[in-house]
Amino acid sequence: MQIEIKIDASQVVNGLGKLMDAMKDTRPIRRAIGELLLESTRERIRAQGPDPDGNSWQPLSPTYLLTKKGRGMLRESNSLIETLCWQLTDDGVVVGSNKPYAAIHQLGGVIRKKASTKTIRLRKVGNQTRFAKKSHKKAREMTVKVGEHTIHIPARPYLGVSEADKSEIILVTKEILEMALNGQI
């Protein structure tokens, strides 16, 4: 007695072909990863850390904190968060900003300021003297000399891939490959 089993492997072969095609052009996967990392980076800035390795950012100096408008670290004007973008490379994706100061916030560093002369406006509030905006009519102007000085900026890494990002990247990659297997892309 002879038993013959026939298997139609055309669906499996077809599915493998679709997966291989999807792996030849990884742009859809890299685009999804770019969007994921962009949102993760923006959220990191909104939350004021932690960095991708889970370390808290160094707090602002007490002196600088007095000048802040209440938006938090790396968000004085929101231009850093607004200029963040992702871009495909030949074999990957990069996330970053074109702002000149983006690197010093990521890496930390020293800014050397030359001596300068500035005009400031002062106004009286009760028995206190405060800085005045141009709109304050009863302000007096004063020329002051600011000596050469340095400003130390601690690193506050906002770019990078966290463990949560890695998990999301795996999930989005699986989803895209499943879509390719099902002929949805």
pLDDT digits (tens, 9 = 90+) for 35-73: 999 999 999 999 999 999 999 999 988 877 777 766 677
- 102 and 71 share one domain: yes
Residues 130, 101 within the same domain: no
Same-domain check for residues 116 and 128: yes
Residue 149: predicted pLDDT? 94
Same domain membership, residue 98 and residue 22: yes
| Structure token pair of residue 93 | 């994706």
Residue type, 91: D
Q: Which residues is 120 bridged to in the sheet?
A: 142
Phi, psi of 75 (to 5 degrees): -135, 25
For residue 70, the model assigns a pLDDT of 66
Asked if residue 104 and residue 118 are part of one domain, the reply reads no
d(Cα 149, Cα 172) in Å, to the nearest integer? 48
Residue 155: predicted pLDDT: 95
Which pair of structure tokens corresponds to residue 29? 């996967």
The pLDDT assigned to 69 comes to: 67
- CA pair distance 17, 173, nearest whole angstrom: 17
For the entire predicted model, the pTM comes to 0.76
Which residues neighbour 113 within 8 Å (Cβ) at sequence distance 6 or greater? Answer: 146, 148, 149, 150, 151
Task: For residue 147, give its domain range.
Answer: 109-153
Q: Would you state the pLDDT for residue 78?
A: 84
Euclidean distance between CA atoms 90 and 107, whole angstroms:
25
Segments of the chain scoring below 70 in pLDDT:
8, 12, 22, 69-71
Question: Three-state DSSP class for 22?
Answer: helix
Q: Are residues 34 and 81 in the same domain?
A: yes
Helix axes 27-46, 163-181, angle to 10 degrees: 150
Cross-strand bridge partners of residue 153: 109
Residues 46 and 122 in one domain: no
Domain count, the chain: 2
Which tokens belong to 161? 């891939």
Question: In terms of domains, do 180 and 115 share one?
Answer: no
Question: 36 and 6: one domain?
Answer: yes
